[in-house]
Chain A
């Protein structure tokens, strides 16, 4: 049982210019149930698009996304008949992810009531239970979101997602909008919840130090493609792709084994997705780029059973 993406592609049409951009370009990966996959990349690399596809908010243009062998956006799917998806999403910004006109208890109760997950007389007990689980005093259930701190709001978002009793939780930069002082608390909460409910996480972040804290597997994305994929030890301690290396290099407290090829940080901007470079999307910023890189689009190649990288120059 797992989450399986096969060649998932999402294209958006830009109406003003009539051109299409590839937000996601043939993503294939497999995440076993109960594990946590960390997805890392700069802003605009398609991480959030991936999140929206996995929770069924949008449909892939091409390719398939299967959860437990069933298409997520498939209307005949059992969960879709009740319209409740077993994959839920926690958004980045705790200030816009809760309805400002809804008391937080009601926001959780609504999920349970609409989908009849509990009999009516057990709903309030369930709301209190969920709030307790995420570390919010049940007294606070009559408050409006603006009366809570960012960390508390994010906990409420998690509780609301849990109310739907999901199996897979997509966390889209869940702590990056929070104060540094509360990040660790929320991260620890997420780890606890994973153990407690046997959840599968897809943890999206631009910050490798957060990813390292929680992930079993790591995928590094660049401009809509996965450039390196492996267990956290493989990716963090033996990074192969020059982009992964650059990201790790940029982490203040991490030393890379076998650094050498890259001593300088990344230069240049991420290319415009509407105007992609030919060949390898990274070659313009790559410290080890070769002339052939502008002509050849590299595929993800296996280094070991679990570790693969999309750069022929480092294999």
Chain B
């Protein structure tokens, strides 16, 4: 009965962008490696010390060599990556849910609620991210949940801004007014008429924040306030490397950063194009 119009899906556009595809492959690889760590499939126990084999170079047994306690660097990389991923995903998820909710409600309802939301985000914005995360972790503790919460607090105002701005313009659109004239409830208008139309910048922001959160987490661990030894963390490993064997593998962090960035910002950019 229906002749649906053949639409080129966002995947089609996505696959045509080289950096997007490279990013997607690399992120996929990272997720895969983190999963290997999650199922403890790494070649050695990442915290197991082996005094016989300290500071060994790469070999068939220890792919990336060993550190000063004889722990396998490759396994530690995998496990560190898993930790970084968990913290970044968890913290960005909290920041997204809280920030987007506050931003949309503030933008839509305005008045005093909006003023409070905006003022609150201004306050949090007034701290350098790493410093604020430090202060919060200092108060909360060093577990991965505390780290995630600290990073989430730092990133929430970004999501408030990213969500609130487009809501202010979208709520003036005629289709939102129509929805009000048609007697739809505020929750319905917010969820099915406003949210879908402000999603694109939020998706891009999630992508960027995931990569920043990995950086913030490694920064915190590096300063001794994130993941605690003997557990592995990419930031902690760079810090240890100061002591002696500087390991090439640590440059994984920037890669992580770039993969997320290119992959997600591509998808964010392409996604809305089918609607415009």
**Residue positions of A touching B, CB distance < 8 A:** 52, 55-57, 82-85, 88-89, 91-93, 96-102, 110-111, 114-115, 139, 141-144, 146-147, 157, 160, 164
Contacts and interface: CB of A to CB of B under 8 A. Distances in A.
Contact of B177 (A91, A114, A115): A91
A82 B2 contact: no
A146 B276 CA distance: 7
Contacts, number: 73
A100 B197 contact: yes
Contacts of A88: 181-182
B183 A96 contact: no
Contact of B183 (A84, A144, A146, A160): A84
Given A101-B275, A142-B2, A57 B182 contact: no
Contacts of B188: 114
A153 to B, nearest CB: 11
Interface in B86-107: none
Given A101-B197, A141-B2, A142-B4, A96 B182 contact: no
Interface in B223-276: 275-276
B126 interface: no
A91 B183 CA distance: 16
B175 A96 contact: yes
Contact of A57 (B180, B184, B196): B180
Which 10 A-B residue pairs are closest in the complex by CB-CB distance?
Answer: A83-B183, A97-B174, A101-B196, A84-B183, A91-B174, A99-B175, A96-B174, A55-B181, A96-B173, A100-B275
Given A142-B4, A147-B5, A160 B174 contact: no
Given A93-B174, A142-B2, 19 more contacts: A52-B177, A55-B181, A88-B181, A91-B178, A92-B174, A96-B173, A97-B175, A99-B175, A99-B196, A100-B276, A102-B192, A102-B196, A110-B184, A114-B188, A115-B183, A142-B5, A144-B275, A160-B182, A164-B182
Nearest to A106: B192
A3 to B, nearest CB: 16
A93 B177 CA distance: 13
A136 B189 CA distance: 26
A56 B179 CA distance: 12
Interface in B155-191: 173-175, 177-185, 188
B1 interface: yes
Contacts of B1: 139
Interface in B4-39: 4-5
A84 B178 contact: no
Given A57-B181, A144-B275, A139 B197 contact: no
B193 interface: yes
Given A99-B193, A101-B197, A147-B5, A89 B181 contact: yes
A284 to B, nearest CB: 32
27 contacts: A52-B177, A57-B180, A57-B181, A82-B183, A83-B185, A85-B181, A85-B182, A88-B182, A89-B178, A92-B174, A93-B174, A96-B175, A97-B174, A99-B196, A99-B197, A100-B197, A101-B196, A101-B197, A102-B192, A115-B183, A139-B1, A139-B2, A141-B2, A142-B4, A143-B5, A157-B178, A164-B183
B59 interface: no
Contacts of B193: 99, 102
B3 interface: yes
Contacts of A83: 183-185
Contacts of A93: 174
Contacts of B275: 100-101, 144, 146
Contacts of B196: 99, 101-102
A260 to B, nearest CB: 43
A110 B182 CA distance: 10
B182 A111 contact: yes
Contact of B178 (A115, A141, A160): A160
Contacts of A160: 178, 182
B142 to A, nearest CB: 43
